[in-house]
């Protein structure tokens, strides 16, 4: 009897692991597909608006700063202030990081005149490709330190706060150190992008760029033949 019981148990365990595998496989098949859509103004990937060197916006897309982003930013600012940290948004007062196509064009041309095309394109987005035009990005400075935007920002309390807590309010630090080859931009500890709490939490946990997270570029090195889409482990088709 005892022997038979063991055998039954083995069979049961086998069945359970088979069903787990099958469910995992179905989930993988559904979410490993990258859904790109364009509404004649901007691209969305799996429902998330995107602006980068590959996916641009219409010149006429002029949404202003996103209202949900603003509410989340105000909450984050308040939380920081409780710890004596002053977050401040760089740029036109009241614009909260928003830049129109025309403003971006002006800025981009200024950088080209100052530094030449090659360097300018690493620090500034071509008009129509900036997350600032998307209305979902802001450049943050430490309110107690009014220096210009440079990588020394990472040593400020404001930088540490957004890096460690931004995801709780739906923000990610968008252009990470050492990820220049993937994002196409130099390290910008001050540039935050609003993606909502769920996505931001996953992105932060995985320490990846938005491109890697969405599975559209520079796939993070996992085991051979694997990549991630939206936090889900996928396999390359061979």
| Contacting positions for Zn ion (CB under 5 A) | 139, 191
* Number of Cβ atoms within 10 Å of the Cβ of 221: 9
Q: Which of 131, 188, 211, 212 is catalytic?
A: 188
How distant is the alpha carbon of residue 133 from its chain centre?
15
The whole-angstrom separation of Cα 135 and Cα 155 is 27
Residue 219, judged by CB atoms within 10 A of its CB (0-12, 13-18, 19+), counts as middle
Tell me whether residue 188 is one of the annotated catalytic residues.
yes
Q: Minimum CB separation from Zn ion for residue 227, in Å? A: 27
Between helices 67-82 and 157-165, what is the axis angle to 10°?
120
CB of 174 or CB of 202, closer to Zn ion: 174
How distant is the alpha carbon of residue 63 from its chain centre?
19
Q: Minimum CB separation from Zn ion for residue 120, in Å? A: 14
Q: Minimum CB separation from Zn ion for residue 12, in Å? A: 56
Q: Minimum CB separation from Zn ion for residue 205, in Å? A: 23
**Residues contacting 134, CB < 8 A, separation 6+:** 42, 49, 51, 57, 61, 63
Active site residues: 188
């Amino acid at each position: 009897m005892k022997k038979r019981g063991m055998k039954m148990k083995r069979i049961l365990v086998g069945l359970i692991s088979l069903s787990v595998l099958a469910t995992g496989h179905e989930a993988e098949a559904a979410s490993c597909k990258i859904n790109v859509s364009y509404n004649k103004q901007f691209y969305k990937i799996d429902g998330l608006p995107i602006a980068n060197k590959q996916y641009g916006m219409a010149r006429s897309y002029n949404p202003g700063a996103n209202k949900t982003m603003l509410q989340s930013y105000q909450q984050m600012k308040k939380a920081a202030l409780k710890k004596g940290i002053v977050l401040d948004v760089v740029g036109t007062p009241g614009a909260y990081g928003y830049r129109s196509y025309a403003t971006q064009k002006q800025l981009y041309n200024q950088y080209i005149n100052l530094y030449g095309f090659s360097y300018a394109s690493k620090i500034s987005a071509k008009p129509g490709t900036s997350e600032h035009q998307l209305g979902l990005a802001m450049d943050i400075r430490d309110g107690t330190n009014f220096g210009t935007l440079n990588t020394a920002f990472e040593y400020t309390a404001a930088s540490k706060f957004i890096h460690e807590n931004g995801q709780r309010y739906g923000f990610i630090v968008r252009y990470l150190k050492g990820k220049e080859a993937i994002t196409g931009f130099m390290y910008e500890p001050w540039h935050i992008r609003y993606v909502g709490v769920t996505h931001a939490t996953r992105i932060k946990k995985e320490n990846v760029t938005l491109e890697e997270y969405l599975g559209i570029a520079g796939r993070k090195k996992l085991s051979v033949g694997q990549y991630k889409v939206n936090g889900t482990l996928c396999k390359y088709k061979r």
